[in-house]
């Protein structure tokens, strides 16, 4: 089992936009509960099936498998609607990779940056465009944004 250790932050301003090209992602949830998530995601010509366990602090179990894009499209049709749609920007910064998501649809206006760490105590440099940390705020979990979109807060 892989362990995902992730910190999540709001993003301020747009100086990040010139640092990377965004890729459109469409994702849905076959299961979305506090105990587990089963997600299907299409990004370009690749697709993944991901299973995540409940959070324990900022860590949780994660299993991720490539699947055919055609299968992913069929699975997305089985997911709760509407899907989460966003542009993802991958931005290297001082030896780490930030994943910055610009949400669309009912979550338009929300921009969140995530960083995956090797340990919960790992130190990392923070880019100037990083805002408030929201790691512990469950509203910012993608599965929760489906049920309670940002525009309705």
| Residue of 29, 65, 87, 150 marked catalytic | 29
pLDDT band at 20 (very low <50, low <70, confident <90, very high): confident
Task: Quick: pLDDT tens for 21-58.
Answer: 899 999 999 999 989 999 999 999 999 999 999 888 89
Task: Quick: pLDDT tens for 95-143.
Answer: 999 999 999 999 999 999 999 999 999 999 999 999 999 999 999 999 9
- d(Cα 82, Cα 105) in Å, to the nearest integer? 9
**Average pLDDT for residues 74-78, to the nearest whole number?**
98
Whether 15 shows a pLDDT value over 90: the answer reads: no
Q: What is the DSSP letter of 71?
A: H
Instruction: Write the CA distances from 103 to 1, 97, 108, 119, 142, integer angstroms.
Output: 29, 19, 5, 28, 10
User: Where do the domains of the chain lie?
Assistant: 2-152
Q: At the top level of CATH, which class does the domain 2-152 belong to?
A: mainly beta
Residue 89 designated active-site = no
Q: What local confidence, expressed as pLDDT, does residue 1 receive?
A: 64
Task: Quick: pLDDT tens for 83-94.
Answer: 999 999 999 999
pTM of the full predicted structure? 0.93
């Amino acid at each position: 089992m892989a362990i995902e250790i992730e910190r999540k932050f709001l993003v301020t301003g747009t100086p990040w936009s010139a640092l990377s090209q965004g890729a459109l992602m469409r994702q849905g949830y076959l299961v979305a509960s506090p105990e587990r998530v089963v997600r299907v995601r299409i990004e370009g010509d690749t697709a993944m099936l991901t299973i995540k366990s409940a959070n324990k602090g900022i860590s949780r179990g994660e299993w991720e498998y490539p699947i055919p894009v055609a299968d992913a499209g069929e699975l997305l049709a089985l997911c709760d609607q509407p899907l989460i749609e966003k542009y993802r920007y991958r931005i290297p910064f001082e030896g780490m990779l930030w994943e910055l998501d610009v949400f669309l649809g009912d979550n338009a206006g929300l921009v969140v940056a995530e960083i995956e760490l090797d340990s919960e105590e790992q130190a990392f440099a923070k880019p100037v465009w990083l805002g408030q940390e929201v790691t512990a705020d469950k509203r910012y979990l993608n599965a929760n944004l489906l049920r309670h979109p940002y525009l309705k807060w």
